[in-house]
A and B are shown apart, each in its own frame.
Chain A
Amino acid sequence: MFKLSLREIRFHPSRYLATVIAVGLSVGFLVLVSVYTATEGAAQGMEGIAVDATKWLLWTFAGIAALTGIMVISNTFTILLTQRQRQLGLLRAIGATTGQVLLATGIEALLIGLIGDLLGLVLGISLGAAFAGFTGALANGLVIGWSEIYLELFLGLLLTLIAAIAPCLRAAHVAPMAALQVVPTATARKFGVIARSIVAGLFALVGIVMVLPVFSFNQNALLFAVAASFCFAVTLLVAAPLYLKPILWLLAKLVSPLSPVVRLAAGNVIRNPRRTTATATALLLAVTIIITLQVGVTSGREFVIEELSKRVGSDPMLIQAINQAFDALLIGATALTAVAVLIALVGVANTLILSVIERTRENALLRALGLQTGQLKKMMLIEALLIAVVGAVVGILAGLFFAWLGVTAIANMLAFDLGHGIDIPLRTDWLYTVGLIAACALAAALASIIPGRRAAKASPVEALAVV
């Protein structure tokens, strides 16, 4: 079984590349935080608590990145194993037990995790050193807390295995005969929809109960808002395939008449809704967090400036200082969440590459029928854009909602203290928001380059080859 897994990875390294990168980025971020904070802390002779506070704050963002990573890795394994259903079914048919198939796929996940860890280690230490060099802390020597890093590497393995467990279990339980058909059975799908609806509904319900105190003057409004947000976030992610599917479908129908190339791309986006929605969900999560932070910071800035102007009059110097502080906060938060966006976009590239492998014959047929290589690349680009734009737009809406919840909670908490209602205006930095969509679209376009090149390599002769 070990040999089988090893062969699979050796012969199709490109299929695993994106997963390795996703693990590497997730682990790399964790290691980076450890290396940087330890080096910086040692250089400045900082107290343990001060270092820890920075570290935990940064780790929160690393955790968000890792969460995105889990989603991307899980999606990758699902696609990979679905594409290998025949092979696994054959294994089962010639006598491999469910356990053996699980072992084979599990070993693959473990190997991917190990290679990803290695990448993360190299990335984390070198970037950590680079940042410390930038701030000058490196002059006092690089400090690497190995025990912490071992733990982070272990976490990297763990998150790969957690992400892979459901797809691997699903693959292992495929009946030898059922594995010979490509489309998953209807019952399995229905079960997924029902299970998702129930979990999403329950969390939404708990969230609604939790959110009620947020709307009255309440000492603990923020606490309730955080708890409710957590519940709503679970709903948002668990239910994502359910609501993203009709959105994608609608968008696909809307853009289809534009041109035959757009129609082909739209058709590809909705042909495999599970895969596409899972890909978009990772981006959705990252964008939601970015927008929540952005709206929170922008509204906070507005509120502080307004209040201060009321009390001490508008002092340009003071306003400039406040603006600078909030700008720094926003840039910092964006940079830290950008890693999650990056991982989500690796996921987009990965889904496209795996789809291209699956559609080799179809793309060859398109070429035979007169689709230019440039049009084939354009098709991949539009696929990437459709996925990214849906993920980003839904993420922005969700982010606005969470920020509104947070701002309302803070307003009501302050109101409780002050004894009278106060109004914190909800403000978005539109330039930033539009910029974010543009950045997502641009990154999606970049993510489509490699899959597009690969698709364009499809020789039209392949379409005629009899399987």
Chain B
Amino acid sequence: MSETVISAGVQVTKVYGVGEAAVVALDALSIEFAAGGFYAIMGPSGSGKSTLMHCLAGLDSPTSGQVYLAGIELTALPEKELTKVRREQIGFIFQSFNLIPTLTAAQNITLPLELAGKQPDPAHYASVIESLGLGERLKHLPSQLSGGQQQRVAIARALLPRPAVIFADEPTGALDSANSLQLLNYLRTCVTNLGQTIVMVTHDPNAAAFADRTFHLSDGRIQTVQDREAPRV
């Protein structure tokens, strides 16, 4: 793992609402992710995991503090530029409702690249499709795919633009254990073999066990940081 910081949050605070109803979702939280690492963010419900991910990925803007991604300060960018960064530098895998129902699997996979006006690199595309076993399913609509297949399409979409970071919010949350295991193994392989940086929000300790480093959140703050002891084979 190289030690270049690819994504970071500095003193990130996010407050929802005002006055009496104000909720501090993130409390001056600082965090760093090195390129080529697999990170898990854990914590009880309401601890601020999703909020942190939204801020790090430029989906939401923090109340104060800075967020950096691939050397760009996201917190300084206007919405239009932020959107560009999202489609070119960031891959997303959500828990459910990951795919556009009117587009085929193939069209879903290439959507962010096409929105950026780019063509996928054919060799890279072929290898991603091949490694995820999606060759037979490319012409199918999401409604014709199983939950596991849908998540694999989402992974392919996230990988294709070779993003700086892939953010995954509970990616196994809607899957059975066999499919979860397959997905986590695949993400692990992407990190190990391709050097892809992945930040995954999860509340499942078994999922977090795949990561190189796990941040435990509570009340919008990092409580503990845990590194994996033995490298997984």
Contact = CB atoms under 8 A, between A and B. Distances in A.
B103 interface: yes
Interface string A156-181: 00000000000000000000000000
Contacts of B94: 365, 463-464
A258 B96 CA distance: 29
B83 to A, nearest CB: 5
Interface in A337-372: 361-362, 365-372
B210 interface: no
Contacts of A261: 115
B115 A362 contact: no
Nearest to A373: B79
Contacts of A371: 83, 87, 115
Contacts of B59: 368, 459-461, 464
Interface residues of A, number: 28
Contacts of B96: 466-467
A216 to B, nearest CB: 52
Interface in A292-323: none
Given A460-B59, A463-B94, A271 B102 contact: yes
Interface in A246-286: 259-261, 263-264, 267-268, 270-271
B86 interface: yes
Given A463-B97, A464-B54, A264 B83 contact: no
A263 B86 contact: no
Interface string B96-133: 11101111000100011011100000000000000000
Contacts of B205: none
Interface residues of B, number: 32
Interface string A121-144: 000000000000000000000000
Given A373-B79, A461-B59, A263 B92 contact: no
Contact of B101 (A259, A263, A362, A369): A362
A261 B100 CA distance: 12
A263 B157 CA distance: 17
A177 B190 CA distance: 43
B173 interface: yes
A461 B54 contact: yes
Contacts of B179: none
B80 interface: yes
A362 B92 CA distance: 14
A370 B107 contact: no
B92 A361 contact: no
Interface string B18-39: 0000000000000000000000
A361 B94 CA distance: 12
A24 to B, nearest CB: 34
B150 to A, nearest CB: 13
A5 interface: no
B50 interface: yes
A370 B115 contact: yes
Contact of B100 (A264, A372, A459, A464): A264
Nearest to A375: B115
B73 interface: no
Nearest to B84: A370
B219 interface: no
A369 B112 contact: yes
Interface in B34-93: 50, 53-54, 59-60, 79-80, 83-84, 86-88, 92
Given A260-B111, A463-B94, A466-B95, A369 B102 contact: no
B212 interface: no
B133 to A, nearest CB: 23
Nearest to A372: B83
Nearest to A267: B102
A425 B86 CA distance: 61
A386 to B, nearest CB: 13
Contact of B87 (A259, A361, A370, A461): A370
Interface in B155-189: 157, 169-170, 173
Nearest to B94: A464
B141 to A, nearest CB: 10
A154 B50 CA distance: 54
B173 A370 contact: no
B87 A369 contact: yes
A184 B100 CA distance: 20
A263 B107 contact: yes
Contacts of B54: 461, 464
A172 B60 CA distance: 42
A83 to B, nearest CB: 16
Given A263-B103, A270-B102, A466-B173, 18 more contacts: A261-B115, A264-B100, A264-B103, A267-B100, A267-B103, A271-B101, A361-B97, A369-B111, A369-B115, A370-B87, A370-B112, A370-B116, A372-B83, A373-B80, A459-B60, A460-B60, A461-B54, A464-B95
21 contacts: A260-B111, A260-B114, A260-B115, A263-B107, A264-B100, A264-B102, A362-B97, A362-B101, A366-B100, A368-B59, A368-B86, A369-B87, A369-B92, A369-B115, A371-B87, A371-B115, A373-B83, A463-B94, A464-B50, A464-B59, A464-B94
